[in-house]
């Protein structure tokens, strides 16, 4: 059974640009959550999607957005990049919607903003 797949693995962008990250969940999982991981702030919840609908959202500015497709694949977009957006972005999928239960994480996309 394939795990959660995130692409690309690494990204380098400059301030002001935008970026789109992709996540393919485990087959059969309909819930996809996104997390930002930094050395200073740790793991922080961005948002969760289930059946193409955003179920929950963390405390991030509107520059961070996401969507989920009918095949449960999800994308996350960050517009007008800032230096502080440099982080590891993790996607997690689950059979269960809400509550962060039984999450399976991908290896993440390492984003560097110069």
Binding site for another protein (CB under 8 A): 4, 33, 42-45, 48, 55-56, 58-59, 90, 92, 98-108
Q: What are phi and psi of 110, to 5 degrees?
A: -90, 110
Pick left, alpha or beta for residue 38 (phi over 0 → left; psi -120 to 50 → alpha; otherwise beta): beta
- We find the least distance from the C-beta atom of residue 89 to another protein, in angstroms, to be 10
Other CB atoms within a 10 A radius of the CB of residue 47 amount to 21
CB of residue 112 vs another protein: minimum separation in angstroms?
16
Give 93's Cβ-side CA count (13 Å radius).
24
- Of 4 and 21, the one with the shorter C-beta distance to another protein is 4
Give the nearer residue to another protein in terms of CB position, either 84 or 98: 98
DSSP secondary structure code for residue 101 in this structure? T
Q: Which two tokens mark 60?
A: 């991030």
- Minimum CB separation of residue 16 from another protein in Å reads 29
The token pair that represents 34 in the structure block: 């996104």
Strand pairing partners for 37? 43, 88
CB nearer to another protein: pick between 79 and 88: 88
Between 22 and 56, name the residue whose CB sits nearer to another protein.
Answer: 56
Least distance in Å: CB of 10 to another protein?
11
């Amino acid at each position: 059974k394939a795990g959660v797949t995130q692409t690309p693995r690494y990204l380098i962008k400059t301030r002001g640009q935008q970026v789109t990250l992709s996540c393919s969940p485990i087959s059969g999982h309909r819930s996809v959550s996104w997390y930002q991981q930094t050395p200073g702030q740790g793991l922080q919840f961005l948002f969760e999607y289930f059946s193409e609908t955003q179920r929950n959202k963390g405390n991030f500015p509107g520059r961070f957005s996401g969507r989920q497709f009918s095949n449960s694949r999800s994308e996350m977009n960050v517009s007008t990049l800032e230096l502080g957006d440099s982080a590891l972005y993790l996607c997690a999928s689950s059979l269960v919607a809400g509550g962060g239960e039984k999450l399976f994480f991908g290896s993440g996309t390492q984003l560097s903003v110069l």
